[in-house]
């Protein structure tokens, strides 16, 4: 009897010790400056001047489409840029690759080159907007229109930064490139053509800064404070088509397992039993390490004790944050579907398409093989429409990341700087062969509505954020020359 009593007693002691340890670790994780950091702007006239240039860029509609080969609007956009930033175009060598722009600001010495980039194309702008989507309206300190956030805002900051440095008589020691493709929104040829040219010239970049994360308050639910989210890892991309075939026939006498139900069964299977492996890679672990101090206490208790709760987090993450969950695994989203052409006709063929984003620990070919096997169990044919591979992660302890981190801290005192996994795609993925430090970050402070307006309704940007955006790129250029 004594032995039976001792065992539960020991177990209870172990549980109490674990509980005490988790509480102590959580309590020792003190809040950081990011919790109460405030971003102030004090140059309204400067902000207004930048906004007026951006307004003209927004008014020039640059919707791109993989189904149109006409790039006239982009050549006209280049002409607008030449008017807005004459010093840049008088000083830099200009190259154009079927509408995609590359400028080279030649350095005076032998320092390794850097490249700043932000695409010039935008997505369509349907629906009812508060201000017309291509009006570039400036009202109450806000500029409205498609592209203000994604990504003519940061593009205008890059050009203004170089324009001002040239006017000040600054010349870089190493070459500085500006790139702006016109096909980013559909992963088109613009960036690949640019990279091909740079490869032919033997260019190896020590740093590239593209679009990506921005400066946000509460970037994840339960995390308080203001952070610069800096993308250091980009997932791979894929599109697949799953086809079910049958004999067709009249809908008045349907058989079993016709094409549409088989597709539905497949989709339900994947949705209810996610087939992809969940894991915390080094980037995600570091992201949560930096965010943990300012979490609400229940979340802090868990994330401060990843050594204990990681298995639980793998299951709970989708309910905490869908964006957070997407950083832990390959994702699949079903996007388009088609059956028969008649309301009372059984299809001989039906299909559904899916978009996949591949995580490095279960990369492209392994993920495709896994989802193909599931499709075959449901009697479907799987076809790969497009695929690419995850990009190498930038070392967040490395010199180039620390350079960007230092600039952010100088311009935005107190805010946190957090490396994270990009779940969307950027043109930076094409540069991985010529640059080990492709950093995805646009130095613009945006709110939740502005973040959600990307590819949505009422895209807009506070004009004050443009001033620090320009100063960011100027500082990156200057500091990279050391």
Q: What are the pLDDT digits (tens) for 125-137?
A: 999 999 999 999 9
Same domain, 244 and 378: yes
Q: How many degrees, rounded to 5, is the angle at CA 311 between CA 308 and CA 313?
A: 95
DSSP 290-322: HHGGGB-HHHHHHHTTHHHHHHHHHHHHHHH-H
DSSP state of 461: E
Q: Is residue 37 part of a domain?
A: no
Is 110 within a domain? yes
Q: Is 206 in the same domain as 297?
A: no
pLDDT tens-digit series, residues 234-269: 999 999 999 999 999 888 888 888 999 999 999 999
Contacts of 461 (CB under 8 A, 6+ apart): 54, 142, 143, 148, 149, 153, 444, 446, 450
Average the pLDDT over 175-191 and give the result.
97
Higher-confidence residue of 110 and 117: namely 117
Q: Could you tell me if residue 58 is inside a domain?
A: yes
Per-residue pLDDT, 30: 94
- 28-67 tens-digit pLDDT: 889 999 999 999 998 999 999 999 999 999 999 999 998 9
Across the strands, what pairs with 347? none
Element (H, E) at 260: helix 259-272
Q: Are 344 and 455 within one domain?
A: no
Shared domain check, 183 and 62 = yes
Tell me: pLDDT of 18 over 80. Answer: no
Identify the CATH number of the domain in which residue 149 sits. 3.40.630.10
* 396: nearest Cα among 229, 283, 227, 281: 283
89 and 217 in a single domain? The answer is yes
CA 208 – CA 228 distance, rounded (Å): 17
Average pLDDT, the chain: 94
Domain assignment of residue 101, yes or no: yes
State percent of the chain over pLDDT 70: 97
Tell me: do 432 and 321 sit in the same domain.
no
**Strands 345-346 and 249-250, how do they pair?**
antiparallel
Same domain, 166 and 312: no
pLDDT at 10: 62
- Domains of the chain: total: 3
How would you list the strands of the sheet with 138-139, edge to edge?
138-139, 142-144, 460-462
In this structure, are 75 and 136 located in the same domain? yes
Final residue belonging to a domain, choices 307, 328, 349: 328
Q: How far is CA 215 from CA 38, 148, 355, 422, in A?
A: 12, 15, 27, 14
Q: Which residues pair with 357 in a beta bridge?
A: 237, 331
Q: According to the model, what pLDDT value does residue 1 have?
A: 46
pLDDT at 11: 64
* Nearest-angstrom CA–CA distance, 437 and 207: 5
Query: What does residue 471 show for φ and ψ, rounded to 5 degrees?
Result: -65, -30
The mean per-residue pLDDT over the stretch 395-414 comes to 97
pLDDT at position 5: 47
Do 347 and 307 lie in one domain? The reply is: no
CA angle 403, 406, 408 (to 5 degrees): 110
Evaluate if residue 199 carries a pLDDT over 60. Answer: yes
Mean pLDDT on 164-169: 98
Does the pLDDT at position 226 exceed 50? yes
The angle subtended at Cα 460 by Cα 459 and Cα 461, nearest 5°, is 145
Give pLDDT tens digits for 417-433. Answer: 999 999 889 999 999 99
Instruction: Domain of residue 20: give its range.
Output: 1-28+278-328
Q: Are residues 227 and 86 in the same domain?
A: yes
- Is residue 256 classed as helix, strand or coil in its secondary structure? coil
The per-residue pLDDT for 148 is 98
Tell me if residue 372 falls in helix, strand or coil. helix
Q: What is the CATH number of the domain that holds 242?
A: 3.30.70.360
Residue 33 located in a structural domain: no
Residue 301 lies in a domain: yes
383 and 366 in one domain? yes
Helix extents (H) in 61-151: 72-84, 86-91
Is residue 273 a part of any domain in this protein?
no
Within this chain, do residues 149 and 3 fall inside the same structural domain, yes or no?
A: no
Quick check: 100 and 177 in contact, CB under 8 A?
A: no
pTM over 0.85: yes
The answer to whether 103 and 88 have CB atoms below 8 angstroms apart is yes
């Amino acid at each position: 009897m004594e032995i039976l009593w001792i065992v539960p007693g020991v177990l209870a002691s172990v549980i109490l010790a674990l509980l005490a340890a988790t509480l102590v670790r959580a309590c020792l994780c003190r809040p950081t400056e990011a919790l109460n950091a405030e971003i102030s702007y004090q140059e309204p006239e400067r902000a207004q001047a930048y906004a007026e240039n951006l307004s003209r860029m927004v008014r020039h509609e640059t919707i791109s489409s993989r189904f149109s080969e006409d790039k006239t609007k982009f050549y006209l956009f280049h002409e607008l840029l030449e008017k807005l930033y004459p010093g840049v175009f008088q000083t830099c060598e200009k190259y154009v690759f079927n509408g995609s722009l590359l400028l080279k600001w030649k350095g005076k010495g032998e320092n390794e080159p850097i490249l700043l980039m932000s695409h010039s194309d935008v997505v369509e702008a349907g629906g009812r907007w508060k201000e017309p989507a291509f009006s570039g309206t400036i009202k109450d300190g806000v500029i409205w229109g498609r592209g203000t956030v994604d990504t003519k805002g940061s593009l205008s900051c890059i050009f203004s930064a170089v324009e001002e440095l040239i006017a000040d008589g600054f010349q870089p020691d190493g070459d500085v490139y500006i790139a702006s493709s016109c096909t980013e929104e559909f992963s088109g040829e613009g960036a690949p053509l640019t990279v091909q040219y740079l490869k032919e010239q033997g260019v190896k970049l020590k740093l590239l800064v593209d679009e990506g994360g921005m400066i946000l308050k509460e970037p994840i639910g339960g995390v308080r404070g203001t952070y610069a989210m800096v993308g250091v890892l980009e997932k791979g991309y894929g599109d697949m088509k799953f086809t079910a075939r049958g004999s067709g026939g009249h809908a008045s006498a349907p058989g079993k397992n016709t094409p549409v139900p088989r597709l539905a069964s497949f989709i339900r299977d994947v949705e209810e039993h996610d087939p992809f492996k969940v894991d915390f890679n080094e980037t995600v672990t570091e992201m949560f390490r930096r965010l943990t101090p300012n979490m609400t206490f229940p979340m802090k208790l868990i994330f401060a004790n990843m050594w204990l709760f990681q298995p639980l987090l793998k299951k709970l993450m989708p309910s905490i944050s869908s964006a957070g969950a997407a950083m832990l695994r390959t994702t699949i989203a079903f996007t388009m579907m088609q059956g028969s052409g008649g309301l009372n006709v059984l299809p001989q063929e039906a299909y559904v398409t899916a978009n996949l984003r591949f995580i490095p620990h279960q990369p492209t070919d392994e993920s495709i093989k896994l989802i193909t096997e599931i499709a075959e169990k449901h009697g479907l044919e799987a076809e790969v429409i497009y695929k690419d591979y995850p990009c190498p992660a930038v070392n967040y302890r490395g010199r180039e990341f620390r350079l960007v981190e230092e600039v952010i801290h100088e311009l935005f005192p107190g805010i946190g700087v957090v490396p994270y996994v990009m779940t969307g795609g950027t043109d930076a993925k094409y540069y991985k062969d010529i640059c080990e430090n492709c950093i995805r970050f646009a130095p613009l402070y945006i709110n939740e509505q502005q973040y959600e307006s990307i590819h949505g309704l009422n895209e807009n940007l506070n004009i004050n954020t443009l001033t620090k955006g320009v100063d960011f790129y100027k500082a990156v250029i200057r500091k990279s020359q050391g």
